Amino acid sequence: MIHKFPVHVYYEDTDLAGIVYYANYLKFIERARTEWVRDLGVDQVKLKEDEGVVFAVRRVEADYLTPARFDDELVVETALEAMTGVRIVLTQEVKRGEDLLFSAQVTLVALTPTGHPARLPAVLRRNLH
């Protein structure tokens, strides 16, 4: 299942030429991942408080293909690629219409407050199968 998250490009997202600054794509996909997890029924604040589990980005492999510009309407598509007991691998794409602008493979891990691996929350595992 592909999760879709709309993004509107504001002036603050761009450089002087009106092109989206490269680091802002990472912000866009971070917001989309937050909404993806929320839509899977996981309250990350409650998860941290009740179970002491947080998510961290372990790895990002990113490809910048075509620039987005000021006032563009974009969509971030998030799809599960793989999952283990403590790790999730996602593909995230930023599109303008049918045009692929940015693509990333993101590895997330579940961690305890001390930084040790933690089991992925049951609600997340259940809702991803």
Residues recognised as catalytic: 15
Counting Cα atoms < 13 Å in the Cβ hemisphere of 78 gives: 25
Between the alpha carbon of residue 53 and those of residues 72, 94, 117, the distances in Å are 36, 28, 9
Lookup result for tokens 């305890």: 112
End-to-end CA separation in angstroms for the chain = 10
CB 64 within 8 A of CB 4: no
